[in-house]
A and B are shown apart, each in its own frame.
Chain A
Amino acid sequence: DQQVKQNSPSLSVQEGRISILNCDYTNSMFDYFLWYKKYPAEGPTFLISISSIKDKNEDGRFTVFLNKSAKHLSLHIVPSQPGDSAVYFCAANTIQGAQKLVFGQGTRLTINP
């Protein structure tokens, strides 16, 4: 039972354009959401997070949007750069289980020059 779902296994975007990665969740108790980025042969690294009291959080080229009613979040990367090519994981947890992250399957993003 996948509580966090990333339905697109892969995404290809032209350099300079916007990349939009999507994530859906089913557990209404989740109140903190994170995105991790993973390069080949490395562990995931934290990218950006959002609390359920917000609907948007921005950090440079990266913005995460949260739609609680739809149980959906998205990561926008603008403009996309070749170094953004990686696998992106969406993750979620609850205040009670703050350290127990539930991850999605990941989306492989490829930025084409």
Chain B
Amino acid sequence: DAGVIQSPRHEVTEMGQEVTLRCKPISGHDYLFWYRQTMMRGLELLIYFNNNVPIDDSGMPEDRFSAKMPNASFSTLKIQPSEPRDSAVYFCASAQKQETQYFGPGTRLLVL
């Protein structure tokens, strides 16, 4: 299996622009997670889905952030408009039932 796939791996954008991060989970996994890693706050859970349905989005920082999972093999995390404080590494992870979470390689986002 290819593991969790994230794109792009790096993104540099200007403040105010829309940013879309993409994730393909491992086939057969029914849970999908979006995390953000910063120096100040470490690794934080933003939102997670079960069977394509958002279960807990309490970690989403504000309304500028939104996430969707239109089908079992694809999810997006969108930031609109982006701000410099959104600069971080964003990880997607997937899991089967209550098992171990497998992380993708991350998207490094820099908002200028």
CB neighbours of B45 from chain A (8 A): 100-103
Q: What's the A-B contact tally at a CB cutoff of 8 Å?
A: 49
Q: Chain B binding site: helix, strand, loop or mixed by DSSP?
A: strand
Contact size class for B? 20 to 34
Q: In the complex the two chains form, is B42's CB within 8 Å of A43's CB? A: no
Contact partners of A36 in chain B: CB under 8 A: 103
Q: Is the CB of A46 within 8 A of B101?
A: yes
Interface residues on A, range: 10 to 19
Q: Which of A36, A89, A101 gathers the greatest number of chain B CB atoms within 10 Å?
A: A101
Interface residues of B in 77-107 (CB under 8 A from A): 91, 93, 95, 98, 100-106
B31 and A43 contacting across the interface, CB-CB below 8 Å = no
Task: Please list the residues of chain B having a beta carbon within 8 angstroms of any beta carbon in chain A.
Answer: 4, 31, 33, 35, 42-45, 48, 50, 55-56, 91, 93, 95, 98, 100-106
- A residues with a Cβ closer than 8 A to B are 2, 36, 41-46, 89, 97-106
